[in-house]
Amino acid sequence: MMVPIPLRLRREFPAASLTTFLILQVLDILTTLLGLQLGAREASLFIGRLMQVGPVAALLIAKLFAVLLVSLAMKFRRPRVVVFLNYWFAVIVSWNLVMILVRLLTTRR
């Protein structure tokens, strides 16, 4: 039995979350490609396996999965999933930036 949620307790889907999601996806692609170009390795086993078809193709396939997941979250009115994914991808982009910095600092010696 489902209990209806009062209208005042319902939250609208945050449009800024979608914009943030798209920006993080672009940043993930750019930082991953830059890191790979500098000699860093892909940490994800899933993406690492996909890299056999090429880095750009692998990243685009991964981004299709991410967009599919966000689309499902929107369809089923689960905005917290999008917010969680934004935090997740912010961590990934931060990790990529740290790895780029490490590679730049270690190659200059």
Q: Where exactly are the structural domains of the chain? A: 17-35+42-107
| pTM, rounded to two decimals | 0.82
Angle CA(66)–CA(67)–CA(73) in degrees, nearest 5?
95
Q: Is the pLDDT of residue 16 over 90?
A: no
Q: What is the pLDDT of residues 18-75, one digit of tens each?
A: 999 999 999 999 999 999 999 888 888 988 898 899 999 999 999 999 999 999 999 9
Residue 89 neighbours by CB under 8 Å, 6+ apart: 21, 24, 25, 28, 66
Instruction: Classify 10 as helix, strand or coil.
Output: coil
What's residue 5's pLDDT?
58
Sign of CA dihedral 39, 42, 43, 48: negative
